[in-house]
Amino acid sequence: MLITGVAEWAGVGRDLGLDGVVDHFTLSGDEAGWLRNKTGATRLGFAVQLKFLTWRGRFPEMRLELPPDAVEHVAKQVGVAASELGFYDFTSRVAKRHRSEPRDLTGWHECSKTDLVKLVSHLVDVIWHDERREEQVRAELLRQMRVDLIYGEVRLNMGRRLQLAQPVPQEPDPEPTAT
């Protein structure tokens, strides 16, 4: 199972509504300061990537994932027309550099092998006791990734992991044979 990715986020690209936009896409004073050396589409692209990361725990792969009302809100804050985002290439070297800056500034990091071990351990020790429906397990793992500031693709073979998490019935020891 792919824990993060475009298909995992139902509703992405749809308007969030005023409360959602204000809660998730309002720049803090520090975040606004990080934009000083950026202008135009680059400024807006950096800002929406930063806020999307803190909202969804990953970076957007394309503009279509961004809620239009959130883009408008961020554009007003940074003083750039929302239409400028059309000139921002989310696959460019600049966009990749923009993904490294928020990591350095906020503590978010790509999922490492150590993180994966911790997530699987969390799955087995905590989540499995309360929930076994795959969608709920996925949601809890995503929540834990946001708590731990982990982003990126995490692939788990859920069926296999969940089977391994279940107690395995022990077979009785065979009777010793007389020789």
Identify the residue with better confidence: 28 or 104.
Answer: 28
The boundaries of the domain holding residue 120 are: 110-164
Report residue 86 as tokens. 């059309």
Is residue 84 one of the residues assigned to a domain?
Answer: yes
Angle at 10 between CA 85 and CA 163, to 5 degrees: 130
Q: Whole-number mean pLDDT of the chain? A: 78
Q: Which residue has the tokens 């490492």?
A: 112
- My answer on whether 95 and 125 are in the same domain is no
Highest mean pLDDT among 16-20, 58-62, 81-85, 158-162: 81-85
What was the pLDDT predicted at 58? 81
How many Å separate Cα 174 from the centre of its chain?
Answer: 50
- My answer on whether 89 and 134 are in the same domain is no
Cross-strand pairs, 164: none
**Residues 46 and 77: beta-carbon distance below 8 Å:** no
